[in-house]
Each structure stands twice: as structure tokens, then as C-alpha cells.
Amino acid sequence: MADEKTTELAPLPPVSDDIVVLARDPAEMENAQQGLIEWMGRKVASLQVELAEAEENLATAKRMKTRTQGWQRVVRVTRNRVLYYEKAKTALEEGYCIIPDFPVELIAVKTNRKGPPRKWHRGGSHIVPDVDSQPLPEGEGEYVSPAPTIVERPLPDRGDGLRRVESKATDFQEVDFPFKVVKPQILKGMEVALKRKLFDEIGILPGPRRRGGDPVLVGRIKRREGPYHEPVLTFLIAWWIDTRAL
């Protein structure tokens, strides 16, 4: 008698559910927001299925005692995607309007590290990299300034009369809002965003900093998939227009 065989039916991936959102007035923007919320929900559900399958494959690889690095990366990347779209959906549900990603001057980055990497860099303080944000779940981590505290020390003299130094970051700095004359609504929007701990980064437009302009406060959610691939979603937190400047 032939061995019994079981046939497992695996569902095919769904047809692409991507949408294009266009809005020309407040009413269309409201409809667009709702459409994006629904799309984000479907995206999260689809990715959660992918994550469950990836975690199952990783567990199987461990039981087989085969190399697991590749499976671990798939789990990590998929988990980051789930987190990315979950936070984006929450931001939309809370009324934050999604906008195109423009060059932003960061004023706050979220991290759960105790301090910046304390590595010496050849050169002045401008060589030391800014504090990098981490894609943490909402409510986790703390906001710090992207500019860390930096110290310099001289390098041995080579006899050519040139001064050489090396620098390193030593500690985080507190968040500083760069505009001291600003509408209270802007600062209150900043306060809510800092307490909410939803966005990975908070910044101002335009960037780089331009004194005298009207600050546009934005929150950013990042998806880390590698050093050269970091999709970003940008949301409007608060802004204002003074007609005297028009």
C-alpha cells in the first residue's frame, strides 16, 4: 500500500492593494485620511501573516540546527514593517495629516540608549555624527536632542605646526525648541507629541534652519531595513501663518 500523502493548500498572495491618494480641499483630505487608515489596517494584517510565517520558519531552522542568520533577518525586517505601519495608522487615527517628506531640521530623536556611542573621531566636533533615532514602539524610549555633548582633545604634535584634534560624543542633550517667539499652539503641539512618544523624530520646516520664517512642526516615522534603505512617513503636527508676512 502506497504511503499516504497529505496535500496542503497554501493561499496565493493577494493582488496588490496599493492606492493613490489625491486631495485638493479639506473635504477630500478627510476622505483621503480615512482611506489611508483603512489601507494601513489591511497592510498591518497582511504583514502580521508574513511575520507569523517568518517566525515559524525561523523556529523550524533552529530545530533542524541549520544556519539561522537569514531567517533572523527576515523576521527582523518584517517585524519592523509591522511596527512602521502600526504607528502610521495610529498617527492617522489621531488626526495627524500625512504630508510629503521634505528636508527637515531635526530637534528631537527617540532612543532607548543610555548615551551616544563614545567613539573618538579624527577631527573637530563637526566630525562627530548626530544622535540617530530608533524605530521603537509607541510609548517607548525618550526624546533627546540630535546634537550630543562633544569633547575634543589634541593629538600629538607632528612638528609641522598644525593643530590636530580628535572628538567624541559623551552624553545626550535635552531637546531644545529653536524658536523662542512662537504661537502657543505650536509649543503645545510639541508638548503633546513628546508625551505621546509616537514619532521616531520631530523636526521643523523649512530646513536647514531659517530664522524669521513660520515654523512648521512635523513628526517622522522611519522604517529601518538597512543603511541605504530607510522609508520615512512625515506627519504635520502644527503650523501657522501670519498674514503680516504675506
Per-residue pLDDT tens over the stretch 33-52: 888 999 999 999 999 999 99
Q: Are residues 123 and 146 both part of a single domain? A: yes
SS3 of residue 219 by DSSP: strand
- pLDDT (tens, 9 = 90+) of the chain, 246 residues, equals 445 555 566 565 555 577 666 666 667 777 778 889 999 999 999 999 999 999 999 999 999 999 999 999 999 999 999 999 999 999 999 999 988 888 899 999 999 999 999 999 999 999 999 999 999 999 999 999 999 999 999 998 887 878 899 999 999 999 998 877 778 888 899 999 999 999 999 999 865 455 555 688 999 999 987 767 789 999 999 887 666 666
pTM of this prediction?
A: 0.83
**Which helix H or strand E contains 81, and what residues bound it?**
helix 69-93
Q: Are residues 109 and 212 both part of a single domain? A: yes
In whole angstroms, what is the distance from residue 24 CA to residue 7 CA? 52
Flag whether 187 is in a domain.
Answer: yes
Flag whether 190 is in a domain.
Answer: yes
DSSP state of 90: H
User: Of the candidates 93, 108, 125, which is a domain's last residue?
Assistant: 93
- Put residue 138 in one of left, alpha, beta given phi > 0 → left and psi -120 to 50 → alpha: beta
Interacting residues of 14 by C-beta distance below 8 A, sequence separation 6+: 46
Q: Are residues 113 and 235 both part of a single domain? A: yes
Flag whether 8 is in a domain.
Answer: no
Handedness of CA 186, 187, 192, 197 (dihedral sign): positive
Q: Supply 61's cell numbers.
A: 531552522
Flag whether 7 is in a domain.
Answer: no
| Contact by Cβ (8 Å): 218, 104 | yes
- Put residue 148 in one of left, alpha, beta given phi > 0 → left and psi -120 to 50 → alpha: beta
DSSP state of 30: H
Count of domains forming the chain: 2
Flag whether 211 is in a domain.
Answer: yes
| Contact by Cβ (8 Å): 228, 91 | no
Q: Are residues 138 and 196 both part of a single domain? A: yes
Flag whether 19 is in a domain.
Answer: no
Q: Are residues 107 and 210 both part of a single domain? A: yes
Q: Are residues 107 and 216 both part of a single domain? A: yes
Q: Tell me the per-residue pLDDT of 142-190, one tens digit each, with 9 for 90 and over.
A: 999 999 999 999 998 887 878 899 999 999 999 998 877 778 888 899 9
Flag whether 10 is in a domain.
Answer: no
Q: Are residues 176 and 188 both part of a single domain? A: yes
Q: State the pLDDT at residue 213.
A: 57
User: Of the candidates 64, 93, 122, which is a domain's last residue?
Assistant: 93
Q: State the pLDDT at residue 45.
A: 95
User: Of the candidates 47, 70, 93, which is a domain's last residue?
Assistant: 93
Range of the domain at 35: 26-93
> How many other C-beta atoms are found inside a 10 Å radius of the C-beta of residue 132?
15
Flag whether 178 is in a domain.
Answer: yes
Residue 235 pairs in a beta bridge with: 98, 219
In whole angstroms, what is the distance from residue 36 CA to residue 88 CA? 9
Q: Are residues 240 and 122 both part of a single domain? A: yes
Q: Are residues 149 and 108 both part of a single domain? A: yes
